[in-house]
């Protein structure tokens, strides 16, 4: 779920709320897709806070896969726990399938990361001139100077349904945002 922030620019004292969006995907040559992980960043070209790609190191992504493959790990527990109500047979088959899918996705993420060449990009304009928040609540951004950035929680936003090449370039295509809903629920 995307994060929301309160952003305060030291130069003008202006304070704004910022909401992350979701529904960004990488699309591969065979038509398969992988969730793109966005994070808030300052885009020097846009002169604004934007969603940018978050690209973890190959080591981190491989570690995620190793952890997920261990059925007793925290990462796998959501699929493998037998605690009530998950001990019900009705859940068992579905969770087994979801677990297999999660492992498959993690394997594909390792493959994508191994092949990835370009640095992270702004998801609005495609620029690689993006600046990420480090530790702490303050960052200095090109063009505006010191900014106070504070994560205030998570927010539920619509899915953009934007598709990108594995190198993070937007695939031009007409898409409509959608809202997540429970299976069988009316939209």
How far is 131 from 140, CA to CA, in rounded Å?
9
Shortest CB 42 distance to Zn ion, Å: 9
Shortest CB 15 distance to Zn ion, Å: 22
How far is 43 from 124, CA to CA, in rounded Å?
9
Shortest CB 165 distance to Zn ion, Å: 17
What is the number of residues in the chain?
187
Which region, judged by CB under 5 A, interacts with Zn ion, from 1-9, 37-45, 90-98, 110-118? 37-45
44 binds Zn ion (CB under 5 A): no
Among 80, 127, 128, 161, binds Zn ion (CB under 5 A): 127
Tokens of 11: 């130069």
Q: Cβ closer to Zn ion: 111 or 124?
A: 124
Q: Cβ closer to Zn ion: 71 or 143?
A: 143
Q: Cβ closer to Zn ion: 122 or 139?
A: 122
Shortest CB 39 distance to Zn ion, Å: 14
Side by side, the strands of the sheet bearing 33-35 are: 33-35, 22-27, 159-164
How far is 115 from 169, CA to CA, in rounded Å?
15
Among 43, 55, 141, 160, binds Zn ion (CB under 5 A): 43
Tokens of 175: 């898409």
- Dump the DSSP string for 21-46: -EEEEEE-TTS-EEE--EEEEEETTT
55 binds Zn ion (CB under 5 A): no
52 binds Zn ion (CB under 5 A): no
| DSSP code for 166 | T
Between 107 and 126, how does the x/- string for binding to Zn ion read (CB under 5 A)? ---------------x-xx-
Shortest CB 45 distance to Zn ion, Å: 5
Phi then psi for 157, rounded to 5 degrees?
-125, 165
| DSSP code for 155 | -
What residues line the site for Zn ion (CB under 5 A)?
A: 43, 45-46, 122, 124-125, 127
């Amino acid at each position: 779920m995307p994060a929301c922030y309160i952003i305060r620019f030291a130069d003008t004292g202006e304070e704004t709320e910022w909401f992350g969006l979701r529904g960004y995907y990488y699309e591969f040559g065979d038509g398969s897709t992988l969730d793109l992980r966005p994070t808030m960043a300052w885009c020097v070209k846009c002169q604004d806070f934007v969603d940018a790609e978050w690209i973890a190191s190959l080591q981190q992504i491989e570690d995620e896969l190793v952890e997920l493959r261990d059925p007793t790990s925290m990462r796998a527990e959501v699929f493998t726990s037998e605690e009530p109500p998950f001990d019900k047979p009705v859940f068992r088959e579905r969770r087994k399938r979801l677990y297999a899918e999660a492992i498959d996705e993690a394997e594909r993420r390792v493959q994508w990361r191994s092949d990835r060449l370009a640095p992270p990009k702004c998801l609005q304009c495609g620029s690689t001139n993006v600046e990420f928040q480090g530790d702490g609540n303050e960052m200095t951004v090109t063009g505006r100077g010191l900014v106070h950035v504070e994560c205030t929680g998570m927010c539920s936003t619509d899915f953009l349904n934007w598709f990108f090449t594995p190198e993070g370039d937007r695939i031009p295509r007409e898409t409509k945002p959608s809202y997540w809903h429970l299976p069988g629920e009316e939209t």
